[in-house]
Structure 1
Amino acid sequence: MDYRDEVFLQVAELLSISKAAERLFISQPAVTKHIQELENKLDIPLFERKGNRIYLTRAGKITAIHLKSIKQQYQELEFELNQMNNTYKGKLRMGASSTITQYVVPPVIAAFHTRYPDIKLSLLNGNSEDMTRKLLNNEIDVALVENQDTHQNIHYIDFLDDEIVAVTNPKSLYARRRKVFNEELLKTPLVLRENGSGTLEVIKKAFATNNLPFDEMNVILQLGSTEAIKNFLSDFEGISFISEKAVKKEIHRKELVKLKTPTLSITRQFRIALRQGPEMKLSRLFIDYLINYNF
């Protein structure tokens, strides 16, 4: 790949000349010049302008797909050549759901970096639905997700067990009782994660299995992060369902109380998601490290 190809891929991803220029540390006229040179070389327009925005043409979309594939092959080439010298170099783009990003994967990434300091890692954060979309769009190489849905173009590998538990603040009525039964849950005030969250998807499926229609439950609020929910719980006369890994410290410090749910169990697997097809060797290196990590 030459530099024009890289400039094109940045503009194609951001759909902005100015943002691409900032990311590449070059001027906007330089970005425009590189795009025009590539269009002249291919003899076809790659972008079209509508008002103040730019969009990929059909040719631009095809070019982006192929150049992303070529870029990945170059990275594979560099990685394999470095391995011949017993060195590990390259770039790995990862994405992870919010719970995994905050409470699971940071020590793994730190240890992986110590073992392979010349491998550059980047980590995007969002809900599981966001990460699946970015994986399919080739914006990341590996996704770590917490949902149970499957996609025909994605291969999944389980890497860690998780349990979703009911929690409340120590001053609430529910904390004094220490347990909550299924028949009470329809009326119990709940604060839960937002739509698109893998945690919410798993909770909905568990509720449905236990004849608890989600639409009939007393969901007071849905929030975009587990940290926001934990803060909200401090003055909330109700409960939430959260990954046990996310509330371990708060339960130990008695800032939150874990409730028993004798008739409801919510378990899941955190999963590695990869696009179907040839697997990048650098991705496999990280996956093997993650699977064998001593959590």
Structure 2
Amino acid sequence: MNVDFKILVFISAARNLNFTRAAKEMNISQPAVSKNIHELELQAGRNLFERTGRRIALTEAGQLFLDYAMRLTSVYETLNGELGLLDGVLLGELRLGASTTLSHYIIPDILAEFHLSFPSISLKVFHGNSRQVEELLLDKTIDLGVVEGLSDNPSMKYETFLKDEVVLVTRKGNPKVAGRDMLSPRQLSSLEYVLREEGSGTNDVIRKAVTTLGIEWQSLYVKVYLASTESIKNFLLKTDCFSFLSVHAITKELHNEELEIIEVDGLDIDRNFYFVRSHGVIGHLPETFRRFAYQRFVKNGVFHSED
């Protein structure tokens, strides 16, 4: 059972505040978006959008309509899930939000196994930083988030999912660390680094750990800042530079003996990945995925749920 298509078009237009982007998202023409919105406005007996030139904004009635439209889609999703359960089948669309490391190196494997176990569930994944994932939860674009850090948002409920460790890494055979089993904290200042762009949450974690060892963050010579972990790994493979990366992001390179972890005396950079959702009852599909993800990591000996 599906929500009236006009309502789905309205939700897309209200989120994007742009009919062109809504048309692309809904895979229809822009005139079709305008037509569906016009028909809804006729049924509602009032304008749902204010139009100023090429800009649109929700009217007070439009905001009210959006609130109820989101509730309606949630009810339909729950209903479809309940109907599927009557036949022992889970149906519907699961919408996840994931931050960078998780979306690239952890979530894809889980999603592949989840799809094989529940082929009737369609999957949609949104990417962004932790704050963006929270915003997607608040406007009900996603059902569940998986992020790398906590926030102080009281409307969010966080649950530890997976332990992570950020480690010092360089290319295998780097002559700058040849024959050394461990570096002292002081030796960190003699290395050249490639790190994520300034403002990265991972950099904040690294900065705190290094400072705890008595090393000034500014004393680390960062040769280049790059926008992604993949670009950092490629840079490391061709230089004698070092970086701090999640162990989950370098599994393949460690196995292929392309990169290696360099131990630093007293340096432990541990953090958690978290499931995050809005407070309240969680739906059948996100709850099924949450439990499946826990079981997947328990099976592989990586994580033990506290449940």
* TM-score above 0.5, yes or no: yes
Cα offset, 1:198, TM superposition? 4.2
Q: TM-score scaled by structure 1?
A: 0.89
Q: What is the distance in 2 between the residues matched to 1:137 and 1:51?
A: 26
Aligned to 2:305: none
Aligned to 2:50: 48
TM-superposition CA deviations, 1:109-151 (whole Å, max 9, x none): 1111111110111112233333233223322111111124342
One-letter amino acid of the structure 2 residue matched with residue 5 of structure 1: I
Aligned to 1:128: 130
One-letter amino acid of the structure 1 residue matched with residue 142 of structure 2: I
Q: Secondary structure at the match of 1:34?
A: helix
Contact kept? 2:150, 2:158, Cα under 8 Å? no
Contact kept? 1:92, 1:120, Cα under 8 Å? yes
One-letter amino acid of the structure 2 residue matched with residue 125 of structure 1: H
Cα offset, 1:187, TM superposition? 5.2
TM-superposition CA deviations, 1:186-220 (whole Å, max 9, x none): 45332222356443343233234444454554333
Query: Aligned in 2, Cα 1:233/1:50: closer, same or farther, shift over 3 Å?
Result: farther
TM-superposition CA deviations, 1:81-111 (whole Å, max 9, x none): 2111211101110121221122212221111
Gaps of 5+ in 1: none
Cα offset, 1:160, TM superposition? 1.6
1:5 equivalent to 2:7? Answer yes
Alignment of 1:198-277 (within 5 A): 198-214=201-217, 217-277=220-280
Query: Aligned in 2, Cα 1:248/1:12: closer, same or farther, shift over 3 Å?
Result: same
Aligned to 2:177: 175
1:146 to 145, 148, 155: 148
Q: What is the distance in 1 between the residues matched to 2:237 and 2:144?
A: 35
Contact kept? 1:158, 1:269, Cα under 8 Å? yes
Cα offset, 1:164, TM superposition? 0.8
Percentage identity across aligned positions? 36
State how many pairs are aligned.
295
Cα offset, 1:270, TM superposition? 1.6
1:283 to 272, 281, 286: 286
Contact kept? 1:147, 1:197, Cα under 8 Å? no
Query: Aligned in 2, Cα 1:128/1:37: closer, same or farther, shift over 3 Å?
Result: same
Aligned to 2:303: none
Q: What is the distance in 1 between the residues matched to 2:74 and 2:200?
A: 29
Greater shift after overlay, 241-250 or 59-68? 59-68
Aligned to 1:107: 109
Contact kept? 1:162, 1:243, Cα under 8 Å? yes
Q: What is the distance in 1 between the residues matched to 2:204 and 2:131?
A: 10
Aligned to 2:162: 160
Aligned to 2:139: 137
Q: What is the distance in 1 between the residues matched to 2:138 and 2:212?
A: 30
Cα offset, 1:225, TM superposition? 1.5
Contact kept? 1:148, 1:202, Cα under 8 Å? no
1:66 to 59, 65, 68: 68
Q: What is the distance in 2 between the residues matched to 1:154 and 1:60?
A: 26
One-letter amino acid of the structure 2 residue matched with residue 192 of structure 1: L
Q: Secondary structure at the match of 2:90?
A: coil
Q: What is the distance in 1 between the residues matched to 2:140 and 2:235?
A: 36
Q: What is the distance in 2 between the residues matched to 1:159 and 1:197?
A: 21
Q: What is the distance in 1 between the residues matched to 2:254 and 2:113?
A: 27
Q: What is the distance in 2 between the residues matched to 1:132 and 1:210?
A: 33
Q: What is the distance in 2 between the residues matched to 1:197 and 1:191?
A: 13
Cα offset, 1:234, TM superposition? 2.5
Greater shift after overlay, 24-33 or 96-105? 24-33
Aligned to 2:195: 192
One-letter amino acid of the structure 1 residue matched with residue 132 of structure 2: D
Query: Aligned in 2, Cα 1:264/1:12: closer, same or farther, shift over 3 Å?
Result: same
Q: What is the distance in 2 between the residues matched to 1:119 and 1:37?
A: 31
Q: TM-score scaled by structure 2?
A: 0.86
Q: What is the distance in 1 between the residues matched to 2:49 and 2:190?
A: 54
Query: Aligned in 2, Cα 1:167/1:178: closer, same or farther, shift over 3 Å?
Result: farther
2:82 to 80, 83, 89: 80
Q: What is the distance in 2 between the residues matched to 1:161 and 1:107?
A: 17
Query: Aligned in 2, Cα 1:132/1:197: closer, same or farther, shift over 3 Å?
Result: farther
